[in-house]
Structure 1
Amino acid sequence: MELRSQGATVHQFEGGEPFMTTPEPIKQAMKSALDENKTRYAPSSGIPELRKVIAEKLRTKNRIPAQDSDVIVLNGGMQGLFGAFQSTVNPGDEVLLFSPYWTPIKDLVAHCQAKFVLVPTDEAREFGFEQTLSRYSTERTKVIYYNTPQNPSGVVFTRDEARSVAQFAQDRDLVVIADEAYEDLIYDGEHFSIASLDGMYERTITSFTLSKSYSMTGWRLGYAVAPEPWITGLKKTTLYSSNGVSTPTQWAGLAAMQLDDSILESNVAEYRRRRDVLWAGLNELGLTCEKPAGAFYAFPDVTRINGDSREAAEILLNRAKVSAVPGIVFGTHGEGHLRFSFSTPMETIEAGLDSLRRNL
């Protein structure tokens, strides 16, 4: 902010939201809802029309055996995650998080007066998920937080990896909180919902958001799916906090869920193009990282610049006017890395890489 206030051009890679605008049919649906006076209280779990469409999407696309009554419409994915942890975690419990992880999760766990335990994703992929989870689990373990595609690394868990996590959860009688915010942003492999596996629906709460798929970050609209008893917990946390989601916003959400898949496919193509340019450029500079399979972040190793990721971020900002997020904010396993978002104009990516080449 200080550099920009001084008139400097800063190449910004720190963002975490889509670069494109909300599709017009969604905005038109919101306007129509207002014109038609669809502005009264809605059921706190969501309007029936939207819940029905969501349940159908879950059954056909995610292979999750959801009924309308298992769906709740929420104020973004965060409300779903908050309700999920509040509904499953008690003081003194432990929650396993694959690490590096999305920063707010540790605070959601702490708000339950519980303890988060970091499970290195790299270790799990190298030595096996069940073996690694066993190493970090105790008799106090209650929940596994399962995020795919992952923020910040772009890792997409495979079907076999999901099966391994599911087997561990069933063997230990654990609950899984699945965060699938980036489900539609897949470039390599496939998105696979862990709740679709046999024996997992009854022990999984899955949280979704329309923010990333439909460029609706500011609309604050998401949903979660779970059977009893978990859905009652989600309903209570929603009822006694926001008492539901803005009614016109839900009609806009219905329009989003009914959009042609070609819109999502076009967005993914644009993200893939940006990913490939950023990934190639960072590796050319010696800031090595695996090609992200999903989400819209690259997470390169920057230890050749400085082993302290906060220092590395400062160096990039001061020398090259490039801003990125220090990896340490995503947990100890993120240290030595920076998170670069490629959800930004191609001109920003090209100019930022050029500045890095000239100034590092």
Structure 2
Amino acid sequence: MAKLKTNTRLSKRVQTIKPSGIRRFFDLASKMDNIISLGVGEPDFVTPWNVREASISSLERGFTAYSANAGIIELRKEISAYMQRRFATSYDPETEILVTVGASEAIDIGMRAILDEGDEVIIVEPSFVSYVPLVQMAGGVPVAVGTNRHDDFKVSASQIEAAITDRTKALMLCFPNNPTGATMTGEEMKEIAAVVERHDLLVFSDEIYAELSYDEKPVSFASLPNMKERTILISGFSKSFAMTGWRLGFVLASPDLLAAMLKLHQYSLMCAPTMAQYGALEALKSGMDDLERMKQSYKQRRNYIVKSFTEIGLPCHKPGGAFYAFPSIEKTGLTSEQFAEKLLLEERVAVVPGHVFGEGGEGHIRCSYATSMDNLEQSVERIDRLLKTLL
């Protein structure tokens, strides 16, 4: 009897998907001692107590059943009020808001809801590592548009327009950006919106870091003229409210788009965890003071790490949001992966090589400053020590 070839069990599509480039460094670091990690993209704060207490209370009251597929109506109403209050965008809790299992699920079902085989999605890079695979898993074709530190990692409307073809279906944006921390002004976004309208595109706007904007008030892409009906707005609670392990996000879209995403959500995940939803409800109701406290701490750390990297000879643009610095290591002559591996093995500092975020990330490393000042200070000392052996 002929032996079954292992690769015939797997779909061709899944075989083309590369494993996350971040994981290799985390796996290496997990086996080493005295590691300082600047690699994990999550707050170092514990979820505020009142949020945890609300979730515990929901369990004590026996709220352990499935919720509505779209999420508990109280949370959807609070999301609607929050978006109006903070970002001047209006969404109907009944037909335009879906609570998801993290922002990643929202992106996944959004891509699968709109893409047919071969449809193209323009992705502004460097970008979050999930965007390209999620487009591919939905049968789409990712088309990269690169940015660079000399332009503060901003993308121009003309760059986007140059990448549009007759197969372009959507544009993927993330500002404030992971991994660069770049932000865009309202006027810069309006120029992109004009291109979107001219070419009849949809826009995925990942606004998970919107509340972590340090120097300017964030602008939601959906709030721009004529953009709400074209925007699939992705957000959640992980970054702003230190709720990464709760796996709770939300997606906002016009009723027809949301209904399509809801079908995929119903059949794959049913609903987000009920007790997490009650925690998120409390976060929106009373968590803004905690959010502001965390944001001010991140801002202090951002100022320190950008200044420190510049002083030791690593050019680093000043990120306007999120909690990542993206310094250039080009002068070392090493690739981003070589530098990150050397830094980990010789100085016990874990960072993420920039190339995993797309070709435009090569020559950089992503450093999360969502860690203590003591860790940041020690990391800078260790990185400086490595640089002195290389330069």
Short-chain TM bin: over 0.9
Q: Does 1:299 align with 2:299?
A: no
* Cα distance in 1, alignment partners of residues 211 and 156 from structure 2: 24
Match of residue 74 from structure 2: 49
Contact 2:120 2:141 in 1 (8 A): yes
* 5+ residue gaps, structure 1: none
CA displacement at 1:260 relative to structure 2 = 4.3
Q: Deviation per CA, 1:239-279, whole angstroms, max 9, x where unpaired?
A: 01110111111111111111242211111110011111111
Match of residue 285 from structure 2: 258
2:337 aligned residue (296, 310, 335): 310
* Cα distance in 2, alignment partners of residues 194 and 3 from structure 1: 38
Q: Does 1:269 align with 2:286?
A: no
Match of residue 251 from structure 2: 224
In structure 2, give the amino acid aligned to 1:181.
I
CA displacement at 1:2 relative to structure 2 = 5.4
Counterpart of 1:351 in 2: which secondary structure?
A: helix
* Cα distance in 2, alignment partners of residues 178 and 119 from structure 1: 16
Counterpart of 1:199 in 2: which secondary structure?
A: coil
* Cα distance in 1, alignment partners of residues 386 and 151 from structure 2: 37
In structure 1, give the amino acid aligned to 2:67.
A
* Cα distance in 2, alignment partners of residues 61 and 280 from structure 1: 31
* 5+ residue gaps, structure 2: 1-26
In structure 1, give the amino acid aligned to 2:45.
M
CA displacement at 1:65 relative to structure 2 = 2.0
Match of residue 326 from structure 1: 353
Counterpart of 1:229 in 2: which secondary structure?
A: helix
Q: Does 1:183 align with 2:210?
A: yes
* Cα distance in 2, alignment partners of residues 253 and 29 from structure 1: 9
CA displacement at 1:228 relative to structure 2 = 2.2
Contact 1:74 1:80 in 2 (8 A): yes
Contact 1:22 1:214 in 2 (8 A): yes
* Cα distance in 2, alignment partners of residues 185 and 159 from structure 1: 16
Match of residue 138 from structure 1: 165
CA displacement at 1:308 relative to structure 2 = 1.0
CA RMSD of aligned residues (A): 1.7
Match of residue 17 from structure 2: none
* Cα distance in 2, alignment partners of residues 298 and 126 from structure 1: 12
In structure 1, give the amino acid aligned to 2:125.
S
Farther off after superposition, 79-88 or 334-343: 79-88
Q: Which runs of 4+ in 1 moved over 6 A?
A: 123-128
Q: Deviation per CA, 1:130-172, whole angstroms, max 9, x where unpaired?
A: 2211211111101000111100000011101211111111000
Number of aligned residues: 359
* Cα distance in 1, alignment partners of residues 307 and 267 from structure 2: 48
TM superposition score normalised by structure 1: 0.96
Contact 1:307 1:335 in 2 (8 A): no
Q: Does 1:157 align with 2:222?
A: no
Match of residue 288 from structure 1: 315
CA 1:286 to 1:127, structure 2 compared with 1: closer, same or farther past 3 Å? Answer: closer
1:80 aligned residue (95, 102, 106): 106
Farther off after superposition, 123-132 or 108-117: 123-132
1:345 aligned residue (372, 375, 381): 372
